[in-house]
Each structure stands twice: as C-alpha cells, then as structure tokens.
Structure 1
Amino acid sequence: MASGTPSAAISAADGPLLVESEDEDAPRARQSRGADTRALTQVLFGELKCLQPGTADHSRVRGALIEANLPLVRYAAARFRSRNEPMEDVIQVGTIGLINAIDRFDPDRGVQFPTFAMPTVVGEIKRYFRDNVRTVHVPRRLHELWVQVNGATEDLTTLHGRIPTTAEIAERLKIGEDEVLACIEAGRSYHATSLEAAQEGDGLPGLLDRLGYEDPALAGVEHRDLVRHLLVQLPEREQRILMLRYYSNLTQSQISQELGVSQMHVSRLLARSFARLRSANRIEA
C-alpha cells in the first residue's frame, strides 16, 4: 500500500524536505537542458556548414537550429514584459533576430552561439519597440536614457518598497531632474489612448467629445478670403464705396454725401462693381 502511494508515506515534517529537494534539483535540470541545447546546436551547425544553402537538407537543419534555440528568444522576450505588448508578437520579432544570428554565425570562431545570438535577438526586439510600437518618435539619446531611468526606478522601488521620487532617480543616475521628467514623458509614447475611450474614474465622456467644438463661422472663412481677393481688383473708389456700404453700413444717400457725388452715381458704381466681382468669381462662373 505504502509502495503504491508514496505520498501517503511522507509525514508532514518530511514535506518541506521534499520541496527543498525539488527546488534544488530545478536549477540543475535547467543547466542540464541548457548544456544539451548547446551540444545539439554545435552538432547542427557542424552539419549546416557542410550543406548547400537552398537545399532541403539545409532548410531542415536550419529549422532544427531555430526550434532548438527558441528558449533563448523566450528568455530575451521576458525582459520586455513591462511594455504591455503581446508576448507572442515580441517572441515573433525575437525569432527574426534568432534567424539572422543563425545565418551569420561562424562556429569556427570559437564563440558559443547563445553569446553571439543574444545581442542580435535583443536588438531586433528593441528595434521593433523603437520603430513600430511607440506612437510618438523619441530621440535615440532620450530613449537610451529612458531605459536607464526605468531600470533605476525598478531598483529603487525594490530597495525602498515604494515608488521613488524624481529626485531619488536623478541622484541615482547623476542626471538632472528635468531629464528624468523628460524620460518619463518619453516612456508614455509606448501607450496610446483612444480619443473615443471614456475616461476612467471621473465618469466624463471620451476625450474626443471634450477637445473642442465646430466653429459656426468656419464656413465663412473661405468666402471672406475670396472677397478680399476680388476687392483688390477693383478701382480704389469702388473699393471705398463697397467698404462704406457693407462694412460701415452706410446708405447710398450717406455715401453720396461722403464722396460728394449723386446717389444715382453711387448706385451705378455699386452695380458695376458687382458685375466685375461676379465675372472675376471663378466659383460662380
């Protein structure tokens, strides 16, 4: 009975010992798997070197190399979990870096493949975030400084058990507080907020509904610009008559007194001005 169910024969006091034994074996198991992967990788690269690119055998061995080293990509992608990007996409991008590393790797140089491939994988992932994920382009220097600020923030949070202040981060990195604030602002470019999304907590409508309103005078802008363009084509006296009539709101009688001409002449000049403006107006034509 006891041999059939070994867990029943373990006392409560022995339980922690069993757990500790399993925890101690886990790193050794991972190291063993890593050693097996490195050995397999070395053998596969030896085979790949003797095969002609483009052949079926070359593609098969190359695919086996990619499959064997995918844990390296997952390990590199785990460093970017805080970026709020789907991990499947990050792993896919990292796999592209892995493939590039496999195609460029020379086993005769005496360098372990993981050592050679990791910078390429991480670089491909960083390039993806830099070029495709951020909604606002951030200067490269500011992006590199943001990585340091982000790391210092995590270290200080672990050290103090709280979110560090801007001054603490600046002191840690020996930079100014304004640079820290600029980096924090740059970090927000990784996250886009929908204009139509409702604001959390305040119960207000979406940002799109609060950005502004439609100016009722906007439709008249084009017409005012057109009138200004047409007016300069009239003689100076006719321009003045139109300004007095429609901007100063004077009657034809008041305009005739202002200019010292008859009201009939003012009427004829207005009619002639309208005819010229209509003929010059391409929109009505």
Structure 2
Amino acid sequence: MVDEQVSSPAPRPQRARPGTDPYDNIEPLITELAAVHADDPHREVLRQRVIERCLPLAENIARKFSGRGENFDDLLQIARVGLVQTIDRFDPAFGASFLSFAVPTIMGEVRRHFRDHTWALRVPRRLKEIQQAIGPATEELAQRLGRIPRAREIAEEIGADLTEVTQALIARNAYQTAPLDPSPSGGDDSPTTSVLDTYGADEPSYRTVEDYLAVEPLIAALPEQQRQVLIMRFFKSMSQAQIAEQLGCSQMNVSRILSKTLNTLREQALRD
C-alpha cells in the first residue's frame, strides 16, 4: 500500500524519444528483480541497475519540494532513500505499475522529512499534517474561486476542522525562526537588522519603579520622625532648612537624620 496520498500532481519525467527514457522497460526489470532469490549474487547487481535507472525520478521529486527552506542536496538524499525503499518493497504481484507506487511513496518520504525534522519549534503532528495539506488546497481553491480562499473553505476542502486549520496557519510561524542577532550580510542591499533592533529602547523609569518597590516596605518600617523627614526631603522636595523650620530643630539635626536614614535603608536593601 502507498504510505501517503499525493496531494498534488505527481512529477513525471519528460519523455524525449522512444527508447531513450530511463523508465522504458522498467517494469520487466522490476519483475525480474522480484523473481531473483535474496541469496542470489546476481540480485544485488540487478538491484543496482534498477536504482540507477530510477535515480532521475528521485531527483525530479526532490526538485518539486525545493525552495521551501531545505537544502536541495538533503532533499535529494531523502528522495533517493525513499526510492531504494520503494524498489525493495514493490511487489509486481499486486498488479499496480511501479511508477504509480513509487511516486507517492517517495513523495511521502520527503513530506515526512518536512513534517518531522524541519520545524524550528515543537508543533503537534496533526497540525504539521494539516499545514502540509493547506498549500496544495489553497492553490486549487485560488484557481477555482479566483481569489484567496478563506480558512473555512480550506477546512472544507481538506476535510479538517476549522479550528485545526486556523491553528495550522498560525503554526507556520514555528517552521523557521529568525535569529535575534543575524550575522552580517555580504551584500550591500541585504538587510542586517536584528530582531532586537526592532524593539523599543529601555525605559529608565522602570529602574526607579523597581527601586521604589524594593524600599517601600523598608520606609514604612522607619520610626515616625525619620520617615517624615525622608518624605519631606525626597517626595515633597523640601530643603533641609525648610524641614528644620517645620520640625523646630536645627538644619544640622535634619542632615544627621537624613544621613542615618539613608544608610539604614541602603544596608537593609542590599542585605535583602
């Protein structure tokens, strides 16, 4: 049985002239390979011959998936692995042609690679599968409707729940992540702005708020006179002379109270 169904037209090699296509007479060769016993030394020679004849099929399928963020050589390697597995598993006794079995099987192998190994963040497997079906369905609906399809229309097209389709569309952002600090670009016109550069500057008042929250309980625990002097000096912006006049004491006394209070707060804050 085929591992995965093909969601888009299968890639087919271009046929130039009769007798020159690598797939001409491939069925008799496959049938001959299936008839050779596994212990027969001729089997490996015949198997290598079949693989070499079918390598262009793997390359054709790999090119179909290129341009999606994966290196072509990696895709070609995955497609060739799928091709070898197809040749080893194909049984001509079932009556199906080799290409009708090989194409969807190899494409399924490449799709599994995208689904399981190319996501930058962990996404549930179900959403990965839906996300892979969204692309072909969107292209089909766009041609049919003459516009970009809505999420509900895509859900009906692929037979999925609307919520799952919406989550899969959002999950696309997890396929590739942007580096916070990209390496310098070689081209003059290529952007080199990092993600951090797009954020706003640090707000200096945040530090003030943090400091206030840290000392607030310490100020509340001060003796009444020390707390009163501190509030008048730093919260009401009164001078030491004005504080002394209001309290009926000398300015020197106010200065000593402030010095003692600030030292106490500093020691307690650093200790905590």
- Which SS does the other structure have where 2:65 is aligned? helix
Mapped to 2, the partners of 1:259 and 1:63 lie a distance apart of 102
Q: Does 1:34 align with 2:26?
A: yes
Counterpart for residue 241 of structure 1: 229
**Residue 145 to residue 262, structure 1, CA distance change in 2 (3 Å):** same
CA distance in 1, matches of 2:139, 2:174: 19
Residue in structure 1 matched with residue 5 of structure 2 by the alignment: none
Contact persistence 1:245–1:255 (CA under 8 A): yes
Give 3-state SS (helix, strand or coil) of 2:24's partner.
helix
| Cα distance in 2 for residues equivalent to 1:32 and 1:42 | 18
Distance 1:251 1:170 in 2: 71
Aligned counterpart for 2:134 among listed residues 149, 174, 178: 149
Change in Cα spacing, 1:41 to 1:184, as seen in structure 2 (3 Å) is: farther
Correspondence 1:55-74 to 2 at 5 A? 67=52, 69-74=54-59
Residue deviations 1:45-97 (CA, integer Å, cap 9, x gap)? 744x568xxxxx99999877765553453354344246354432211233344
Which structure would you say has the larger Rg?
1
Q: 1:129 deviation in Å? A: 1.8
CA–CA distance in structure 1, aligned partners of residues 103 and 248 of structure 2 = 91
| Deviation of 1:282 (Å) | 5.0
Query: Are residues 172 and 279 of structure 1, via their aligned partners in 2, closer, same or farther at CA, if it must alter by over 3 Å?
Result: closer
Partner of 1:165: 149
- Alignment deviations for residues 172-201 of structure 1 (CA, whole Å, 9 cap, x no partner): 446677765654454465566788899xxx
The answer to whether the 8 Å contact 2:15/2:21 transfers is no
Q: Which of the residues 66, 80, 89 maps onto 1:95?
A: 80
Aligned ranges 1:72-151 → 2 under 5 Å: 72-81=57-66, 83=68, 85-98=70-83, 101=85, 121-135=106-120, 137-151=122-136
Question: What is the number of residues matched between the two proteins?
Answer: 245
SS in 2 for 1:271: helix
Task: Report Cα offsets for 1:246-265 as digits up to 9, x if no partner.
Answer: 23212234434666665444
Distance 1:267 1:275 in 2: 12
**1:203-222 pair list within 5 angstroms:** 208=195, 211-215=198-202, 217=204, 221=207
Q: Which runs of 5+ in 1 are unaligned?
A: 1-21, 52-56, 199-203
Between Structure 1 and Structure 2, which shows a larger proportion of helix residues? 1
Change (3 A) 1:205 1:230: same
What code does the residue aligned with 1:151 have?
P
- Conservation of the 8 A alpha-carbon contact between 1:93 and 1:128: yes
Rounded Cα–Cα distance in structure 2 between residues aligned with 1:168 and 1:27: 46
SS for the counterpart of 1:155 is: helix
1:41–1:68: 8 Å Cα contact kept in structure 2?
no
User: Does structure 1 retain, via aligned residues, the 8 Å contact 2:33–2:43?
Assistant: no
Distance 1:143 1:64, change over 3 A: same
Q: Deviation per CA, 1:111-140, whole angstroms, max 9, x where unpaired?
A: 798788767644442233234434455443
For residues 45 and 266 of structure 2, what CA distance do their matches in structure 1 show? 78
Pair 217,37 (structure 1): closer, same or farther in 2 beyond 3 Å: farther
Quick one: which amino acid aligns to residue 132 of structure 2? V
1:204-283 → structure 2 map (5 Å cutoff)? 208=195, 211-215=198-202, 217=204, 221=207, 225-226=210-211, 228-230=213-215, 232-233=217-218, 235-237=221-223, 238-256=226-244, 263-280=251-268, 282=270
Q: Distance in 2 between matches of 1:27 and 1:72?
A: 17
* TM-score (normalizing by structure 2): 0.58
